[in-house]
Amino acid sequence: MRPVKRKELIAKTAQQMELPAELVEDIVSFFYSTLHKRLSSGDYHSLQVPNLGRFVIKPKSLQKKIDHTVNKIPFLEKINTMRAYEVRLTHIEDLKKFHKLQEMMQAEKDRKAGIMELRKSNTYETYPDTNLEEQGEDS
């Protein structure tokens, strides 16, 4: 399935709802910024949006964010101000969230790999007869 691009979504929605494209663009921009904030908060590794799809954090992006945060902490330790201390504590909390998120993503990846392994080995439960009409009534 091909993902819907933002411009296509705006044009189609504006045409179908008979609204100005600028208004629809503002609404869609707000929607995407909200999605971005939720994903970047570190609380979720994916978000499912009905009729629009699933938005997932890329592992490489998460690793870059972790590396960036790890590199900032020692720099902030050298600055002796309350603001730097507060920012450093925020980065440490963010780092904990990011590591937890990484664990969640790995668990999801392992779960999917387990399902694929079961499918390949043909040991998962299958239903022999899919034609329920020929099986007769339940008693």
What's the CA gap between 76 and 79, in Å, rounded? 5
Mean local confidence (pLDDT), 33-62: 85
The 10s digit of each residue's pLDDT in 82-113 is 999 999 999 999 999 999 999 999 999 999 99
Using the predicted structure, report yes or no on whether residue 5 has a pLDDT greater than 90.
Answer: no
For residues 47 and 63, state if they share a domain.
no
Residues 23 and 46 in one domain: yes
pTM over 0.85: no
> What digits encode the pLDDT tens for the residues 27-45?
889 988 998 888 888 788 8
Indicate if 43 and 64 belong to the same structural domain.
Answer: no
Percent of the chain with pLDDT over 70: 86
pLDDT for position 47: 87
* Model pLDDT, residue 127: 59
Cα separation values, 122 from 111, 117, 139, Å? 17, 9, 31
Question: How far apart (Å, rounded) are the C-alpha atoms in residues 101 and 112?
Answer: 17
Q: What is the pLDDT of residue 134?
A: 63
- Looking at the structure, tell me whether residues 40 and 75 fall in a common domain: no
Q: Provide the 3-class DSSP secondary structure of residue 54.
A: strand
H or E stretch including 47? Answer: strand 46-49
The answer as to whether 75 is a domain residue is yes
Looking at the domain assignment, is residue 51 inside a domain?
yes
Q: If 0-12 CB within 10 Å is exposed, 13-18 middle and 19+ buried, where does residue 56 land?
A: middle
Q: Give the span between the Cα atoms of 71 and 78, in whole angstroms.
A: 13
**C-alpha dihedral, 66 to 71 to 77 to 80, nearest 10°:** -110
Query: 108: domain range?
Result: 57-120
pLDDT band at 131 (very low <50, low <70, confident <90, very high): low
Count of structural domains within the chain = 2
User: Are residue 21 and residue 72 in the same domain, yes or no?
Assistant: no
Residues 49 and 91 in one domain: no
